[in-house]
Structure 1
Amino acid sequence: METRLSTAETHTPFLVPKLPSLKRKRPPQIEIPNILQEIQTDNLRFTHQNDAVCFGGNGFGVVSRKGKKKFMEDSHRVVPCSVGSSDKSFFGVYDGHGGGKAADFVAENLHKNVLEMLKDCKDKVEKEEAFKAAYLRTDCDFLEEGVVSGACCVTALIQNQEMIVSNLGDCRAVLCRGGVAEALTTDHRAGRDDERERIENQGGYVEFHRGAWRVHGILAISRSIGDGHLKKWVVAEPETRILELEEDMEFLVLASDGLWDVVSNQEAVDTVLSVQGQRKTPRESEDESLFKGLVNVSPSSKLRRVSLVKQPKCAKHLSHYHSENESPYHEVESPPSKSRKITALKRVKMKSESCWAKEASKELVNLAVSRGSMDDITVVIVDIKHYKC
């Protein structure tokens, strides 16, 4: 028998049970690993004091900047060698590996050993031996610390119209001579034929690993201070050159491989020359011409007379040479004097020299960064003209 349902029965709606309202929850904060935090927060504009050092003095400029490593491993040193001697200075750039302790140790001690060993040295052979002894003593003293790390070095000592340049590893010294770059040092890399032969003669070996020739497959440089685990093959004996200061010598660039890996010698020199040219204002040119005797000096001259404020003649370390906002000059009211004006213009010229050297160092560091250098970069520029008679 067929049963029919009523209309009301056939259209009875299906009731859906009422569910509790859902509240959207905030997702948990994403934890970024330390290595990623380092890459993202390592500001390239030097907002942190430990990321960069930038200063200049009479005849030199220094810029040192941390790369993508967690800790800064570069170091440097600028030291006047004797009280009251403005034509005698020591400059050093040190590039650490395996940590920064070796570079810091060398920056603190190498110049002291050099100055001690150089006492009473007269001829070139004695001076070369003195530098060798100073480097070896610094290396020996650091090895006694028991720290497993090392440092490459490049140093320049200017005294008595003479320049002594030494190096270990891949820090480099490049001289500008008449606008042309001249490398004063040769990088000590494991792939260099003579270095490879020396290492093999000592029972070691060099193999290609991770894109470079390395001592025992570990270290890409063949000379350094430290690296005690490879000391039999990675020696601390520097190569040293002694040059007389000549008229066509303009400036010296000392830098770690963070610069030289991406910037050629001539490119570095051209960049510095470009900065020099850009900073040449008409007033500076007039002052320079006056200093060279190309413009007559008369009592009616309206040139501002300036005088150097007395400052200490020597400082142990020039990392805080002076603040950029502090001017070492003040205007004085004195009778017109040709000798006073010439002296004042010398001071203006010296101040201009320190400015361009510092600005040129900045430009070289920025150039290396723009080309992808992720290493620590330290640049020291020495104005050799400042030390000529």
Structure 2
Amino acid sequence: MNDGAVIAGGPSLSGALKRKRPLRIEIPAVLSEIPNFEESYDDPVCCFADSGVGVYSLKGKKKFMEDSYKVFASANGDKRFFGVYDGHGGSKAAAFVAENLHLKIFEMLESISENKEKEAACKAGYLKTDEEFLKQGLDSGACCVTALIDGREMVVSNLGDCRAVLCMGGGSAEALTTDHRPMREEERRRIEDKGGYVEIHRGTWRVHGTLAVSRSIGDAHLKDWVMAEPDTKVVCLDPDMKYLLLASDGLWEEVSNEEAVDVVMQLCSSAKKQRIQNPSGRKMESIRQRGSADEDGSPPAKSRRISVVKKTKMKACFPENENRFLNERGLLAACKKLADLAVGRGSLDDITVMIIDLNHYNHESLVVAK
């Protein structure tokens, strides 16, 4: 029996072919930038550790990874930069920010004459990065949280719903950033004063019913209402400040500030109490060169590695110390524990967690200051 021949020659199909096609659906620009899978990060887990910092980045249920991060240092080591970036509408904006924001901020820092201008320099770096990304003609965007450590001062900046939380010696949590979700009254008024509007969509306040944050880099289709100027805070480093936690909202949607600090203090403090020596006595291979949990030794994606751009002026390296393995074990274990906690509670978003050991930089800042 040739079912195919019968169906192909049947009158019902002939009539169906004569029907008028439906109107073509116009896809809005906000949904047009969908990167090819080959362009996205193909490793579901990426981790990195060096003296004083650990990062764990986990892809959520999306087809491609939209988070990114950066760890960077000036050539003489007196300035350190740390950033976590959460992309939306595609990975292009987050990747662009990871490759450019720190460079723009460092350029702005070179032109200032007084320490009190650091805050303005960081803001200018954000705005310049946004300006240059908009020239790419893409509609994706990125939320950001960054920390610049310069001597005894730390400048923390953020856009959107990434967050920086300070872990104090007594185990208390101190949020250093302001959430730029448009349900905040002052943000809503600012948008409305510029002729825009905010409405609830799928249970969340959104700019023009689409974007759940009121500040970001990129988002060209909403740039008249969505700012790229970050909230910035200058903090004087104190010995009681133990760790700084930077993370994307994939963590914060499921884990509170206090819970996160409890995990960090428990794992990092216990690791510091242990005296573990490298039995081989050889310099330990960097986790960033091993990439993620893969056993084939493949490196992580380019935009999530420490940059080697402009080596003559700046370099992304940190001094070796005898406790490096100890730092990596405690910091990475805490980063992974937090990501796993969020996933266990139902987070489907990409998650990036970065923990900075401020005691490491507190000590060095005192040396540099002398």
TM normalised by structure 1 equals 0.71
- The counterpart of 2:190, out of the listed 198, 215, 225, is 198
CA root-mean-square deviation = 2.7
Name the counterpart of 2:351: 377
1:169 aligns with 2:160: yes
- The counterpart of 1:129, out of the listed 120, 123, 130, is 120
How much has 1:279 moved relative to structure 2? Answer: 3.0
Are residues 321 and 385 of structure 1, via their aligned partners in 2, closer, same or farther at CA, if it must alter by over 3 Å? farther
1:62 aligns with 2:51: no
Name the counterpart of 2:302: none
> How far apart in 2 are the matches of 1:237 and 1:149?
17
1:116 aligns with 2:107: yes
CA displacement, residues 49-100 of structure 1 (integer Å, 9 cap, x when unaligned):
51110121100001111000111100111112224x2x53111100000000
> How far apart in 2 are the matches of 1:219 and 1:280?
42
Check the 8 A contact 1:143/1:226 in 2, yes or no.
yes
Give 4+ residue runs of structure 1 displaced > 2 Å after superposition.
Answer: 120-125, 276-284, 304-311, 318-326, 346-351
> How far apart in 1 are the matches of 2:145 and 2:291?
25
How much has 1:276 moved relative to structure 2? Answer: 2.3
Check the 8 A contact 2:335/2:353 in 1, yes or no.
yes
Matches within 5 A, 1:221-300: 221-279=213-271, 283=275
Matches within 5 A, 1:183-194: 183-194=175-186
SS at match of 2:259: helix
Check the 8 A contact 2:46/2:291 in 1, yes or no.
no
Structure 1: stretches of 5+ with no match in the other structure: 1-47, 288-303, 327-345
SS at match of 1:111: helix
Name the counterpart of 1:160: 151
> How far apart in 2 are the matches of 1:61 and 1:189?
28
- The counterpart of 2:337, out of the listed 356, 363, 368, is 363
SS at match of 1:50: coil
CA displacement, residues 133-179 of structure 1 (integer Å, 9 cap, x when unaligned):
11111101111100011000000111212111100000000011121
> How far apart in 1 are the matches of 2:234 and 2:290?
28
> How far apart in 1 are the matches of 2:272 and 2:116?
41
Q: Which amino acid aligns with 2:350?
A: D
How much has 1:319 moved relative to structure 2? Answer: 4.1
SS at match of 2:323: helix
Are residues 51 and 161 of structure 1, via their aligned partners in 2, closer, same or farther at CA, if it must alter by over 3 Å? same
- The counterpart of 2:289, out of the listed 300, 311, 320, is 320
CA displacement, residues 32-58 of structure 1 (integer Å, 9 cap, x when unaligned):
xxxxxxxxxxxxxxxx95111012110
> How far apart in 1 are the matches of 2:292 and 2:249?
28
- The counterpart of 2:204, out of the listed 212, 215, 227, is 212
Check the 8 A contact 2:45/2:292 in 1, yes or no.
no
SS at match of 1:164: strand
> How far apart in 2 are the matches of 1:98 and 1:250?
35
1:96 aligns with 2:87: yes
Check the 8 A contact 2:271/2:327 in 1, yes or no.
no
Name the counterpart of 1:42: none
Figure out how many residues of one structure are paired with residues of the other and give that number. 298
CA displacement, residues 158-203 of structure 1 (integer Å, 9 cap, x when unaligned):
1212111100000000011121110000110011111111111111
> How far apart in 1 are the matches of 2:113 and 2:168?
26
> How far apart in 1 are the matches of 2:271 and 2:281?
22
> How far apart in 2 are the matches of 1:182 and 1:252?
10
Are residues 283 and 238 of structure 1, via their aligned partners in 2, closer, same or farther at CA, if it must alter by over 3 Å? closer
Check the 8 A contact 2:272/2:327 in 1, yes or no.
no
> How far apart in 2 are the matches of 1:123 and 1:183?
27
> How far apart in 2 are the matches of 1:92 and 1:228?
22
Q: Which amino acid aligns with 1:275?
A: L
Check the 8 A contact 1:205/1:215 in 2, yes or no.
yes
Check the 8 A contact 2:162/2:246 in 1, yes or no.
yes
Are residues 305 and 220 of structure 1, via their aligned partners in 2, closer, same or farther at CA, if it must alter by over 3 Å? closer
Are residues 153 and 283 of structure 1, via their aligned partners in 2, closer, same or farther at CA, if it must alter by over 3 Å? closer
How much has 1:350 moved relative to structure 2? Answer: 3.6
Q: Which amino acid aligns with 1:364?
A: L
How much has 1:101 moved relative to structure 2? Answer: 0.4
Name the counterpart of 2:71: 78
Check the 8 A contact 2:269/2:330 in 1, yes or no.
no
1:352 aligns with 2:326: yes
How much has 1:278 moved relative to structure 2? Answer: 4.2
CA displacement, residues 95-123 of structure 1 (integer Å, 9 cap, x when unaligned):
00000000000001000000000114244
SS at match of 1:367: helix
Check the 8 A contact 1:97/1:149 in 2, yes or no.
yes
Q: Which moved more, 1:260-269 or 1:48-57?
A: 48-57
Q: Rg: which structure is higher?
A: 1
**Identity percentage over the alignment?**
56
